[in-house]
Structure 1
Amino acid sequence: MAKEKSKNTVSIGDVFAVSLPDGRYGAIKVANQIDNSYLIITTPYIGTEIPSIENELLGEILRQNRFFYNNDKALIWVDGKVPKEVIYIGNIPLSSNERKIRCNAFGDKWDKTVGMVVFLEWRWEYDRENFEKEIQEEERRIEEQYRKRSQKPKKMMKDETFWSIISLLNFNDENDEEEILEPAINALAKMSVKDIKEFEEALSYKLYLLDTKEHAQNIGEYSYDEETQGYFSADLFLYFRCSVIAEGKECFELTIKNPQNMPKDNSFEPLLSLASEAYTKRTGKDFEYITGCDYESFSNVEGWG
């Protein structure tokens, strides 16, 4: 099929061919439009030629099964104008089922990569071993690059003020997580936005200092074991570190010096939301702030060296 001209305006039902990395083509279809956003269906078509508008596969929705997908429909909302790289094929009116489609997946700008999932699914089906290997290598590269980034705290809340907020955590056998956090959230929310950010900075840095191999080797049955290479939960280790800080200044300082003091069966994940909850309570907005030090497990490269 000869290539048609690009299309500046978009209508529901429009079908476009997309170029895939191996030189073949896939196809996408516009299923809905809200203002400048479009709901895109990726069809199961993949071939060496641009499909004709009569191709039956253009009326179907690709099902995704790679990695964590479980027969999920390939649907996504994107913003912006139709990219110049896609090729307009024609228009197929939506079926009654297509008009009922609901989608909560949101991408970014509509670019030439939209519709590329059909190629990823093809590789999962026919070239899985190499595909998985490439993904793992890319993940390792990104992780290594991330681990090498500079970890330096920004301005932090003074220790006295920080620990006074922590001391307000209302631990009681009858309290749920919200009730435990509430007094601390209320106190922090009365402070300035600058103070809230400095609290988050101080919390992140203290969690970062606890992020060492020796501390991870002292959390009971969930401990990190370098010899056996058994399962180790990075998330659980983070939540255990949270509980150290939630216990207060004395516990934190003792545990920094003596990793054997790490809790063996106690975690407190809700501590991570304290600053964001206080910020939202004060401003009515979401908390979008990046700390100088990352508290995620394995971020402290020296501590794991």
Structure 2
Amino acid sequence: MAKGKLKNTVSIGDVFAVSLPDGRYGAIRVADQIDKSYLIITTPYIGTEIPAIENEFLGDILIQNRFFFDNSRALLWVEGKVPKEIIYIGNIPFSDNKRKIFCSSFGGKWDDSVGMEVFLEWRWEHDRENFEKEIREEEKRIQEEYHNKPQKPKKMMKDETFWSIIFLLDFYENDEEKIIEPAVNALAKMRVKDIKEFEEALSYKLYLLDTKEHAKNTGEYSYNEITQKHFSADLFLYIRCSVIAEGKEYFDDCLNNPQNMPKDNSFEPLLSIATEAYTRRTGKEFEYITGCDYETFSNAAGWNS
């Protein structure tokens, strides 16, 4: 297939150019596929032209260091068809020793925002002051927006059942997908109604932990209302996830004693339990809006205190 043509089918090793906000180009590469989900690598390439398939950067993985990323690889699972906005360049096959790449981060629908990490990293290196200012202003806007939004949970799963599913998390496993597998398997055997009620209960518990005092006690990237530097709304969400993953006793303790929040510990895969269970149960995508939003700054009372 010629470079620049839309590619309707996806193969492992396919490389695509993505348009960046400043008019330059980045590039992504497909590393794995499970059904209609694809593991996407963001490469280190950034330039004014669409790269040739021979470009040495297209075989590498971007290393991220902005804010809290700390040398993490730019990998993300996405679902759906190839966005029409991206440009097919060619295919770089994986060698046997690089074939399997593990990633537990899920980004939802594959759209034209996938691959923007290289632009964000460039701004972190070359325009950090303005970049940090924009992030703070955006988080403030989100915070104000959530403060005006009423939050009330819908029908939730009974606490005893909810915590029995959380108890199934297998932390003896090293792979995050294997850790959540017993919980996903158990929930997938229940009714669709139960899966939604589990998600509702999880969202509400995350919502309760979403307070300024809890955010101030999470270690290196704790919330500082004076400087607000290096605080990540996403990381705080994942830290709250780790509280729930530890079970009811730890959740109750942290809820009532914010100073006991875990320091620099997170567990993002908790958010995918209901999604995975629903898909396994129905074969469809999980589209459900909870009564309480678990995103950081949603709990107005918790952040105004």
Q: TM-score, normalised by structure 1?
A: 0.56
Q: Contact conserved, 2:142 with 2:297, CA < 8 A, in 1?
A: no
Q: Equivalents in 1 of 2:291, 2:178: separation in Å? A: 30
What CA distance in whole angstroms lies between the structure 2 residues aligned with 1:238 and 1:139? 14
Question: Following TM superposition, by how much is the alpha carbon of 1:72 offset from its aligned partner in structure 2, in angstroms?
Answer: 6.7
Query: What is the root-mean-square deviation of aligned Cα atoms in Å?
Result: 3.2
CA contact (8 A) 2:156 2:198 kept: yes
Structure 2 distance, partners of 1:293, 1:161, is 20
Residue by residue over 1:221-273, the C-alpha shift from the partner in whole angstroms, topping out at 9 and shown as x without a partner, is 11111123321011111111000000000000011100011000211100000
Which of 94, 98, 105 is the equivalent residue of 2:83?
A: 105
Partner of 1:171: 171
Give the direction of change, closer, same or farther, for the CA distance of 1:65–1:238 in structure 2 (3 Å limit).
closer
2:148 counterpart residue number: 148
**2:206 and 2:142 mapped to 1: Cα distance?**
22
- For residue 259 of structure 2, what is the amino acid of its counterpart? Q
What is the CA deviation profile of residues 112-165 of structure 1, one whole-angstrom value per residue up to 9, with x for unaligned ones?
Answer: xxxxxxxxxxxxxxxxxxxx999x989966763343111110000000000000
Alpha-carbon distance in 2 for matches of 1:214, 1:175: 31
Q: Work out whether residues 143 and 298 of structure 2, in 8 Å CA contact, stay in contact via their aligned partners in 1.
A: no
Aligned amino acid, residue 70 of structure 1: R
Quick one: distance in 1 between partners of 2:221 and 2:196? Answer: 32
- For this pair of structures, how many residues does the alignment match? 193
Question: Distance between the aligned counterparts of 2:138 and 2:220, measured in 1?
Answer: 32
CA–CA distance in 2 between the matches of 1:249 and 1:266? Answer: 17
Aligned to 2:40: none
Residues 146 and 299 of structure 2 are in contact (CA less than 8 Å); yes or no, is this contact kept in structure 1?
A: no
Give the direction of change, closer, same or farther, for the CA distance of 1:140–1:169 in structure 2 (3 Å limit). Answer: closer
Unmatched 5+ stretches in structure 1 = 1-30, 35-62, 74-102, 108-131
Aligned-partner Cα distance in 2 for 1:139–1:243? 22
Match of residue 123 from structure 2: none
**Structure 2 counterpart of 1:70, from 24, 27, 35:** 24
User: Which residue of structure 2 aligns with residue 20 of structure 1?
Assistant: none
Aligned residue for 2:73?
none
Distance in 2 of aligned mates of 1:231 and 1:291: 29
Partner of 1:280: 279
Any gaps of 5 or more consecutive residues in structure 2? 9-17, 28-80, 86-130
2:61 alignment counterpart: none
Q: Distance in 2 between matches of 1:181 and 1:283?
A: 19
Q: Matched residues, percent identical? A: 71
**Displaced runs of 4 or more, over 2 A:** 63-67, 69-73, 103-107, 136-147
Q: 1:146 to 1:214 in 2, by over 3 A?
A: closer
What does residue 288 of structure 2 align with? Answer: 289
TM-score (norm 2): 0.56
Contact 2:219 2:263 in 1 (8 A): yes
Higher Rg: 1
1-structure distance, mates of 2:198, 2:300 = 23
Tell me the alpha carbon deviations over residues 92-119 of structure 1, each in whole angstroms, 9 at most, x when there is no partner: xxxxxxxxxxx93259xxxxxxxxxxxx
Relative to structure 1, the CA distance from residue 106 to residue 145 in structure 2 (aligned partners, 3 Å threshold; closer, same or farther) is: farther
